[in-house]
Structure 1
Amino acid sequence: MRRDVMSEDNQNGRLDPAAEKIRRRRSIAIGLTLGFMVLAFYIATFVRLGSNAANGML
């Protein structure tokens, strides 16, 4: 873990409130990015297959 995120006087491994807030925002941003990528790949696949997928299932 980066030294600037951990407080110097806290030896039990807990982050200070500012660092916890930064970590939470970063986690939310990563989650939203991952969700957007999954959705984008799903839509791109659906658009590329188009009517071919419907014709193949019949």
Structure 2
Amino acid sequence: MSAPDELRSVPTESPEVAAARARTRRRRSIALALVLAALVIIFYALTIVKMGPAVFDRTI
């Protein structure tokens, strides 16, 4: 039992459309990486602020 002809023939996209999709994916990936890096920096800074200045005092 095989699939109908409409399902078997998958249309291929033109090189221009493929390039546009690749550019869109790249921009989205860069934006997500920047947001993730910003969140990491914010969480790190908040952790240091919540600990207070005593965290840098290492006199034992």
Q: TM-score higher than 0.5 here?
A: yes
One-letter amino acid of the structure 2 residue matched with residue 41 of structure 1? F
Q: CA deviation at 1:10?
A: 2.3
TM-score, with structure 1 as normaliser: 0.67
Aligned residues: 47
Q: Where does structure 1 differ by over 6 angstroms across 4 or more consecutive aligned residues?
A: none
TM-score, with structure 2 as normaliser: 0.65
Name the % identity: 34
Q: Which has the higher helix share?
A: 2
Aligned counterparts of 2:23 and 2:11: Cα–Cα separation in 1: 19
Supply the RMSD in Å over aligned alpha carbons.
Answer: 2.1
Structure 1, unaligned runs of 5 or more:
1-7
Q: Deviations over 1:22-45 (max 9, x none)?
A: 100000000000000000001000
Structure of greater relative contact order (alpha carbons < 8 Å, 6+ residues apart): 1
